[in-house]
């Protein structure tokens, strides 16, 4: 039988592979839908999938700390909308790499909130990863964009969401945890769509208040359905992965989707990463390896 940590690595590896495909589907859907619409439809279908699973096999864990479930959902939605928005505005490989700064934030939050040990090598890895982010964002080369900043912020919210999983994984069935994510991830977009009818938002947050347009093409609905299925599966795998014993080791395995994302993005028309971006991606991956080998 695999050790708990090995199980977590296996689940994260599968989730990483699926998320790369999910990013490519998001890029394709962005031609017809806003980022918020993609989030809404993806999560709404996920709600029905999880409810069916819970009806088929009811959860056995007692539950409690409902506020942590809400926090997981809010953090998860924040991470997803920022991630999807960056996918629609910058190259897929860069968007996913910036989002995958989350394991570094997880390491920090696990140290601050869960009292996990932070080794010197891990601290060096965090610095290396931060340098990698700087090289991708290029703040000194006049290439710094608002979207890149949102990408890193999305990584932080993802880390916050994953850390809450660690706090409630022993009292909630993993499907219930995922349900909190897709449920809130459906309700909040609906509220934002309604709010858009009553005021004009500042340009900086305009992507949070788009006009809601029902898709009319069958192709779009088929892609939405496929995304919802694989995304819900990915979230379940993520929940299982972050229920493992050590967040830092499991988290860095998620970097395996970066080369796939670069390949998918290139096939969809993204430019191949320039030297600084590629160096930044390499440093982030190298930093993750430093963390995993130390653990």
**Structural domain containing residue 250:** 4-294
Residue 244 confidence (pLDDT): 65
Q: How many Å separate Cα 243 from the centre of its chain?
A: 16
User: 232-277, pLDDT tens digit by residue?
Assistant: 787 778 777 766 656 556 666 666 677 778 888 888 888 887 887 8
Q: How many Å separate Cα 7 from the centre of its chain?
A: 20
Residue 209 confidence (pLDDT): 93
What's the chain's length in residues? 295
Q: Which residue from 115, 150, 132 is spatially nearest to 248, judged by alpha carbons?
A: 115
User: 64-112, pLDDT tens digit by residue?
Assistant: 888 999 999 999 999 999 999 999 888 888 888 787 777 677 777 777 7
Task: Give the SS3 label for residue 58.
Answer: coil
- Name the average pLDDT for the chain: 82
The pTM of the full predicted model, rounded to 2 decimals, is 0.80
Residue 234 confidence (pLDDT): 79
Cα end-to-end span (Å), the chain:
20
- Letter string b/e over residues 64-88, b meaning 16 or more CB atoms within 10 A of that residue's CB: eeeebbebbbbbbbbbbbbbbbbbb
CA distances from 29 to 39, 124, 188, 190, 213 (A): 11, 39, 20, 19, 13
Domain count, the chain: 1
Answer whether residue 51 shows pLDDT above 90.
yes
* Structure-token pair, residue 292: 């995993």
Distance CA 189, CA 194 (A): 9
Residue 11 confidence (pLDDT): 80
């Amino acid at each position: 039988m695999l050790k708990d940590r090995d199980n977590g690595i296996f689940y994260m590896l599968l989730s990483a592979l699926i998320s790369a495909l999910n990013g490519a589907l998001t890029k394709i859907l962005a031609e017809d839908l806003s980022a918020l619409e993609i989030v809404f439809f993806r999560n709404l279908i996920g709600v029905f999938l999880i409810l069916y699973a819970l009806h088929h096999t009811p959860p056995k864990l007692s539950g409690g700390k409902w506020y942590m479930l809400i926090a997981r959902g809010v953090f998860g939605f924040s991470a997803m909308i920022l991630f999807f928005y960056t996918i629609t505005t910058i190259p897929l490989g860069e968007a996913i790499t910036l989002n995958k700064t989350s394991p570094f934030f997880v390491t920090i939050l696990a140290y601050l909130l869960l009292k996990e040990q932070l080794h010197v090598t891990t601290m060096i890895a965090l610095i290396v990863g931060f340098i990698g982010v700087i090289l991708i964002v290029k703040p000194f080369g006049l290439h710094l964009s608002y979207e890149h900043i949102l990408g890193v912020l999305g990584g932080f919210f993802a880390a916050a969401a994953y850390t809450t999983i660690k706090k409630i994984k022993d009292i909630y069935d993993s499907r219930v945890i995922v349900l909190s994510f897709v449920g809130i991830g459906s309700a909040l977009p609906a509220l934002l769509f309604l709010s858009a009818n009553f005021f004009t938002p500042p340009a900086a947050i305009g992507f949070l208040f788009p006009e809601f347009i029902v898709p009319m093409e069958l192709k779009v609905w088929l892609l939405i359905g496929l995304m919802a299925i694989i995304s819900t599966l990915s979230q379940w795998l993520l929940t299982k992965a972050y229920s493992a014993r050590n967040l830092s080791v499991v988290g860095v395995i998620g970097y395996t989707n970066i080369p796939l994302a670069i390949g998918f993005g290139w096939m969809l028309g993204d430019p191949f990463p320039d030297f600084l971006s590629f160096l930044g991606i390499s440093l982030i991956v190298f930093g993750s390896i430093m963390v995993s080998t130390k653990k």
